[in-house]
Amino acid sequence: MAERFPQQHILSPNLPYGLSLTWRESPDFDPLRARETLSSQFDPAAAILGIGDPLLQSLSLPLPALRPFPSLAGPGVSIPSSQGSLWTFATAKTRSELFDISEALLALFGRDFILEDRMETFTYREGRDLSGYVDGTENPQGDRAFSVAIADGTSAPRGSSFVAVQRWKHDLDLLHTHSRSEQDRMIGRDISTNREIDDAPISAHIKRSAQESFSPDAFIFRKSMPWAEGNGKGLEFIAFGSSLDPFERILRRMAGTEDGIRDALFTFSAPITGSYYWCPPVSGRSLDLSLP
């Protein structure tokens, strides 16, 4: 069997401009043609591609490790699911390059898929969330990132990955009604030095999400990017894993389903979409959709 590799952009750093596209199946959807397009014509050098549970079912591909994104509720918290069929995510140095990628994807997928949602994303300053806090500090690096993000062949084909995509909408006016030290205690880090605040409350985001505090530990590889469109702004949260479980365990704790304490992020931000996708591995220059 040909060797299988992860899609090349999963582990590479984001470029300054991003484009997150969600697709659903068109009325003319043809499973044989769609499979052929995905596995022979899509170029994994252009974008990351993820397949959602609805599309896996249409393609008759059984992969128990992929499930639809759950809608969850915690105290005062509502987390929606908006499970898509197909997701692509590209980053580029310029908007022109992204436009070209987007046109090529529309031409490629146009018969079998309809573009359901399109969001342009960007790197804010040196990699901060729009709240002003550095995002990604505790991301695993190097080999550790590979083992966190990429499946080893046990429950999904070697080289594949799972991704959670969740759009969060911020209310920055509301955030800014809090003093700087209150904001620091919501996140759990100092906005200027990025140092952890040791005595931050248990609701602080980095206390809720501390990857080593779960048992077993819950590491994820985050590749989120800010977005701002019209009056809306927030974070396109994107996290890869060799399975979906670490992400979901963190999310449940953030929502307060474990102990009734919700993440302080919910004070000024709320998720408005949520999807899970399987990112097939690459053999040669094409996606490899074969399942054991």
**Residue ranges binding ligand HEM (CB under 6 A):** 129, 131, 133-138, 166, 168, 187, 189, 205-206, 209-211, 220, 235, 237, 239, 247, 250-251, 254, 265, 269
Phi, psi of 238 (to 5 degrees): -135, 120
Question: Which residue's CB is nearer to ligand HEM, number 109 or number 266?
Answer: 266
For residue 44, the minimal CB distance to ligand HEM (Å) is 25
Indicate the length of the chain as a whole number.
292
Mention every residue, 6+ apart, whose C-beta is less than 8 A from residue 198. Answer: none
Phi then psi for residue 23, to 5 deg, are -120, 145
CB of 249 to ligand HEM, least distance (A): 8
Instruction: Considering the complex, state which of residue 276 and residue 278 has its C-beta at the smaller distance from ligand HEM.
Output: 276
Find residue 121's DSSP bridge partners.
18
Q: Choose between 60 and 231: whose C-beta lies nearer to ligand HEM.
A: 231
Nearer to ligand HEM, 225 or 251 (CB): 251
Kindly tell me the burial class for residue 156, based on how many C-beta atoms sit within 10 Å of its own C-beta (0-12, 13-18, 19 or more). Answer: buried
**Residue corresponding to tokens 């197909």:** 86
Task: Report CA 29 to chain centroid distance, whole Å.
Answer: 26
**Minimum CB–partner distance for residue 185 and ligand HEM (Å):** 13
112 versus 248: smaller Cβ distance to ligand HEM: 248
Q: How far apart are CA 127 and CA 13, in angstroms?
A: 11
Minimum CB distance to ligand HEM, residue 271 (Å):
7
Least distance in angstroms from the C-beta of 145 to ligand HEM:
13
Nearer to ligand HEM by Cβ, of 161 and 166: the residue is: 166
Q: Give phi and psi for 10, each to the nearest 5.
A: -60, -45
Instruction: Name 194's Cβ contacts closer than 8 Å, sequence gap at least 6.
Output: 133, 134, 137
CB of 171 to ligand HEM, least distance (A): 11
In angstroms, the CA 131 to CA 49 distance is 28
Q: Which is nearer to ligand HEM, 151 or 187 (CB)?
A: 187
Shortest Å distance, C-beta 135 to ligand HEM: 5
Output the CA torsion sign for 10, 16, 19, 20.
Answer: positive
